[in-house]
Amino acid sequence: MFLELKKQQPDIKGLGMGGAKMAHAGIDIRYDSTNIAVIGVVEVIKHYAEIRRALTLMQELVATERPDLLVCVDYKEFNFKLARYAKQQGIKVLFYVSPQVWAWRPGRVVSYGKVIDMMAVIFPFETAYYDAEKVPVRYVGHPSVDKVHARYSKDEDLSRFGLDKSKPIVGLLPGSRANEIKRLLPVMLAAAEKVQAKLSQCQFVLPQADSIGDALLDDCLRQSPLSVTVIKSQPYDVIQCCDAVMTTSGTATLEIALLTVPMVIAYKLSPLTYWLGKWLVKTPFIGLPNIVLGKSIIKELIQQDATAENLSEEITRILTDQAYADDMRQNLSQVKRQLGQGGGSKNMAQLALEMLST
């Protein structure tokens, strides 16, 4: 978004908290958010002191620098508090990525309406929730639509990665956070071993997230006899080579859907976080492709169901039942159509400029 803003208004300045990508875009980073990139109740409690310190720092920044516009990106509870503080200071607030009011606590729409000037949503169906409460809202498009494109053709990637296109290729996407890797990668590796026992020609690839260090992956992979090709910084090129993918829940499921690759979703949380989520969350699905279409098109294996046996059975079915895999691809194509043509960054930049000019 900030790069698009710079194109339209070259003298604009940005400062705040974020990571390497935001710094590369030209934003003056005052706090590195990598330290507080955690999910789950237990994980948040463990990092509470640092999260609180970050919030205090950002509130001080708002008060002293007095920006013309505060753009809050995701990270809902943290940014809600920051937005409320900014609103008290008379600062305009643009909130990007709605909390999942369609899944739980729909009453948050009213609460957010009191602390923001505009909600920018990334799914078309979300606008209705804000319109119903007369909270300013605009659908700007999902950022993945613009981002998810392989740099090379599938044949070029197969050659580059040393993969044999005549043999099945299975992708392992255990997540981009350390706690996800620790919980899910061992299960995925055990599942992959079971798949290989049935389909001996299978090849396995793992697109390494930039946020995951080599040591953590190596530690997990060393404990498995499986041969896995690990490829850094090229997730979409890796995914397009796959015939099937095991993935954790989250944005990755949508990215795989946009590449129309059949998948199975596995998800595990700490027992406390899972119990709270089960009590609070009202949506029947956790996978974004299922949520977008409002029906189950991808199998979801959650908590105790996320076993090596269950994962291997679903991957084997995708690889051996052509009609089943083709039907999944057709449904994934519908997800792609629902999300539209993209342009999310440009739409966000335009929205921000409109708010700056009023």
Element containing residue 152 per DSSP (H, E): none
- Burial of 344: CB neighbours in 10 Å, binned 0-12, 13-18, 19+: buried
Is the distance from CB of 187 to CB of 266 less than 8 angstroms?
yes
154-338 maps to CATH 1.10.4190.10: no
The answer on pLDDT for 143 being more than 90 is no
* Backbone torsions φ then ψ of 119, nearest 5 degrees: -105, 125
Domains of the chain, by residue range, sit at: 2-141+343-356, 154-338
Instruction: Report residue 122 as tokens.
Output: 């990334």
Q: When comparing pLDDT for 313 and 102, which is higher? A: 313
pLDDT at 13 over 80: yes
| pLDDT of the residue at 76 | 87
Mean pLDDT of all residues in 134-151: 94
- In the prediction, which pLDDT does 174 show? 94
DSSP-derived 3-state class of residue 222: helix
Q: What is the pTM of this model?
A: 0.79
Asked whether the predicted pLDDT for residue 106 surpasses 90, the reply is no
pLDDT given at position 227 = 94
What pLDDT was estimated at residue 213?
Answer: 87
Asked whether the domain spanning 154-338 has the same topology as the one spanning 2-141+343-356, the reply is: yes
Average pLDDT of the chain to the nearest whole number: 91
Phi, psi of 205, rounded to the nearest 5 degrees:
-130, 150
Distance CA 244, CA 203 (A): 11
Give the Cα separation of 32 and 248 in Å (integer): 25
Residue 124: what pLDDT?
87
Can you tell me the mean pLDDT for 13-21?
90
Give tens-digit pLDDT for 322-333: 999 999 999 999
Overall average pLDDT of the 130-147 stretch: 94
In this model, does residue 62 exceed pLDDT 70? yes
Q: Give the per-residue pLDDT at 41.
A: 55
pLDDT of residue 230: 96
pLDDT in tens, 201-241: 999 999 998 888 899 999 999 999 999 999 999 999 999 99
> Taking a C-beta distance cutoff of 8 angstroms, is the pair 286, 249 a contact?
yes
Q: How far apart are CA 321 and CA 338, in angstroms?
A: 26
> Residues near 45 by Cβ (< 8 Å), separated by ≥ 6?
none
Return d(Cα 345, Cα 6) in angstroms, integer: 12
At 15 the three-state DSSP class reads strand
Mean pLDDT of 285-306: 93
The topology (CATH level 3) of 2-141+343-356 is: Rossmann fold (3.40.50)
Contacts of 104 (CB under 8 A, 6+ apart): 280, 281, 282, 283
Which pLDDT tens digit goes with each residue over 235-283?
Answer: 999 999 999 999 999 899 999 999 999 999 998 876 666 666 665 666 7
